[in-house]
């Protein structure tokens, strides 16, 4: 859990540092920086999405995962949580809710969050999560200066999400073949691309409801092993 704890602390520290610059950066610079970050997020997503050639698995994972996420109500749950936190801690901060949702999804979705948490749980190697902590800390400075305190609260979601993967790693170890990890990374890359489009304002994709898609390659691998001939 050390890597996840460091990651959460880095997000809190970065977002609080970003708050010091909030309002001090002219709007045109702020907007341009956010566009630059959005494009960088798109590039990261594209690179992640290309890690697997099993396009059918990626497509079906995204489709079925989105259906499952909408049925469970993940996006609605995140929105409700974000608004409750906003009412409780930042009634006059209009960027709180958007900052919480955007940063939570950005920091949780992606191969580094998944692979790093798995490495942490299986081998005690925290190096991937330490590297992710540095990246998330820098990103949270920029997001914190734009959206405010909501970015800091995303650290709780990151801690819960990555902590769960770390603790569950031992149970799913037999399923974590290189092919499955690549498929999960590809699905995560597509979702990161969606975050980039949302940040640019060119779309409003319900990424929260797509989160189960990241784990469906594990389910597919399990089904293939239980049903010979697939």
- Per the structure block, which two tokens stand in for 172? 């799913």
Where along the chain do its domains lie? 2-226
Q: Could you give the CA distance from residue 176 to residue 198 in angstroms, rounded to a whole number?
A: 31
Distances (CA, A) of 159 to 63, 190, 216: 27, 22, 22
Query: Could you tell me which residues come within 8 angstroms of residue 142 by beta carbon, excluding any fewer than 6 positions away?
Result: 18, 33, 34, 37
Q: Could you give the CA distance from residue 86 to residue 11 in angstroms, rounded to a whole number?
A: 18
pTM > 0.75: yes
Q: Could you give the CA distance from residue 218 to residue 123 in angstroms, rounded to a whole number?
A: 20
pLDDT of 11: 93
Residue with tokens 């190697």: 125
pLDDT of 120: 85
Let me know: does 98 contact 147? Beta carbons within 8 Å.
yes
Query: Could you tell me which residues come within 8 angstroms of residue 40 by beta carbon, excluding any fewer than 6 positions away?
Result: 196
- Per the structure block, which two tokens stand in for 136? 């998330």
Going from the first residue of the chain to its last (230 residues), give the mean pLDDT of each consecutive group of 10, the final group possibly shorter: 90 90 72 81 84 89 92 85 76 76 83 80 82 86 85 91 85 81 86 84 82 88 76
Query: Could you tell me which residues come within 8 angstroms of residue 85 by beta carbon, excluding any fewer than 6 positions away?
Result: 96, 97, 100, 150, 153
DSSP class of 95: T
pLDDT of 62: 93
Report the Cα 3 to chain-centroid distance in Å: 16
Let me know: does 79 contact 130? Beta carbons within 8 Å.
no
CA-based nearest residue to 109, from 85, 86, 132, 127: 132
Measured in Å, how far apart are the chain's first and last C-alpha atoms? 37
CA-based nearest residue to 97, from 108, 109, 81: 81
CA angle 131, 78, 15 (to 5 degrees): 40
């Amino acid at each position: 859990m050390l890597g996840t704890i460091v990651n959460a602390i880095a997000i809190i520290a970065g977002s609080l540092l970003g708050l010091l610059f909030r309002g001090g950066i002219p709007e045109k610079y702020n907007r341009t920086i956010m566009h630059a970050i959005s494009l960088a997020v798109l590039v990261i997503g594209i690179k992640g999405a290309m890690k697997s050639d099993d396009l059918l698995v990626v497509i079906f994972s995204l489709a079925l995962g989105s259906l499952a996420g909408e049925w469970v109500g993940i996006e609605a749950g995140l929105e409700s949580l974000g608004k409750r936190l906003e009412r409780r801690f930042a009634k006059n901060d209009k960027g709180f809710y958007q900052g919480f949702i955007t940063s939570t999804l950005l920091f949780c979705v992606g191969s580094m969050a998944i692979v790093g948490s798995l490495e942490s749980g299986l081998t005690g190697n925290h190096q991937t999560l330490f590297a992710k902590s540095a990246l998330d800390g820098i990103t949270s400075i920029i997001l914190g200066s734009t959206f405010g305190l909501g970015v800091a609260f995303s650290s709780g979601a990151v801690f819960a999400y990555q902590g769960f993967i770390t603790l569950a790693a031992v149970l799913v170890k037999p399923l974590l073949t290189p092919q499955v990890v690549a498929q999960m990374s590809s699905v995560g890359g597509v979702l990161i691309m969606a975050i980039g489009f949302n940040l640019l304002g060119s779309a409003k994709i319900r990424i929260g409801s797509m989160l189960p898609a990241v784990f469906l390659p594990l389910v597919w691998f399990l089904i293939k092993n239980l049903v010979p001939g697939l």
